Homo-oligomer: A and B are copies of this chain.
Amino acid sequence: MVTIEDVARAAGVSKGTVSLVYSGKRPISPATRARVLDAAAELDWVPSSRARALATRRSQTIGLVLARDPEIIATDSFFARFVAGAESVLATRSMGLLLQVVSTPEQERDAYRSLARGRADAVILTDLLVDDPRPALLADLRLPAVVVGASPDPAPHPRVLSDDRAAVRDVVDHLVGLGHERIAHVSGPAGYVHGHDRRAAFVDAMAAHGLDPALVVEGDFSAQSGREATARLLDADDRPSAIVYANDVMAIAGLNHAQSRGVRVPDDLAITGFDDIELAAHLTPSLTTVQTDVVSWGRRAAEVLLRHLDGAVPEDAWIAPSRLVVRESTAGAPAART
């Protein structure tokens, strides 16, 4: 293996000089610089990231630990887009993203400990639980972090935030504007901060219109749960005329279940989703939903972290607010497809 030593010898300089040419931490004369670069190119040398990591105490890696069921991860579609967004920023600094999927709290703890012991310089926290133990754990491990989405105040870590409350309110306003009064909500898991918050936002929005926000069924973001929740709502005596789902997958499953029972959408039942996955625009009827820019979430999270690592005081970042996209599942008329 060719090392910095070989390059230094070939260029007739010291190892330190070669290093400086690459880090740019101190001025190097153009002539020397050229000789070093030529030698490196000649020998096809690239600095070893392992050695560099040890010497600098930086691994140039961001950790992401996911504690979700693989199937949920898959259908949620959040994951892939988020990762792509984060990567697009990290790549500009040749930083990597180290992924870890865990299934027990012990595995999760171990994962963060191992990241803290040199595998990662910082981590991204997603899917915060109500009373999540991770922020404290990371503070304990002195591992810099950014929290994606809502987190309890005061936050020990900088956050990337978006105003979901406003989006939920827009959805409810839209339905009320169409004349709906019996509006139900199929929520995400209540243990999660985002599920909890969207649900609270729904309750508030209903209350603002003087409507009863009692029709809430808890789902888990899976198609299965969307279908079951819908069945329960449609079986009830006080059947709703509209259902607000916490994600598109549950909404699509609900929409199809309703149709299979002969319930017409949107005539008998209006339906809204959340996420705006690609399929949403290609259904019959197409799905009214809330567009979230997940790629931007990933990008911003990476930016906040990099700035943090650069020594800046960590600051929260805001994402452009989620946008209501009205389509046929609430509008009735064959609206333009987005």
Residues of A near any B CB (own CB < 8 A): 46-51, 53-54, 57, 59, 61, 70-71, 73-77, 79-81, 83-85, 87-88, 91, 94, 96-103, 107, 113-114, 117-119, 222-224, 226-227, 249, 252-253, 256-257, 259-260, 277-279, 281-284, 294-295
What residues of B have a CB within 8 angstroms of the CB of A91 in the complex? Answer: 100-102, 107
A84: nearest chain-B partner, CB-CB: B70
What residues of B have a CB within 8 angstroms of the CB of A85 in the complex? Answer: 70
What residues of B have a CB within 8 angstroms of the CB of A224 in the complex? Answer: 278, 282
Q: Are A253 and B282 in contact (CB under 8 A)?
A: yes
Q: Are B101 and A49 in contact (CB under 8 A)?
A: no
Q: Which 8 A-B pairs have the closest CB atoms?
A: A70-B84, A253-B282, A87-B101, A50-B118, A49-B118, A74-B80, A256-B284, A223-B282
A77: nearest chain-B partner, CB-CB: B74
Give chain A's interface secondary structure class: helix
Q: Are B226 and A282 in contact (CB under 8 A)?
A: yes
Distance A107 CA – B100 CA, assembled complex (angstroms): 24
Q: Are B99 and A227 in contact (CB under 8 A)?
A: no
Q: Write 16 A-B pairs (CB below 8 A) sorted by A numbering.
A: A51-B54, A53-B53, A53-B54, A54-B54, A70-B85, A74-B77, A74-B277, A79-B79, A88-B101, A91-B107, A97-B99, A98-B99, A223-B281, A252-B282, A256-B284, A279-B279
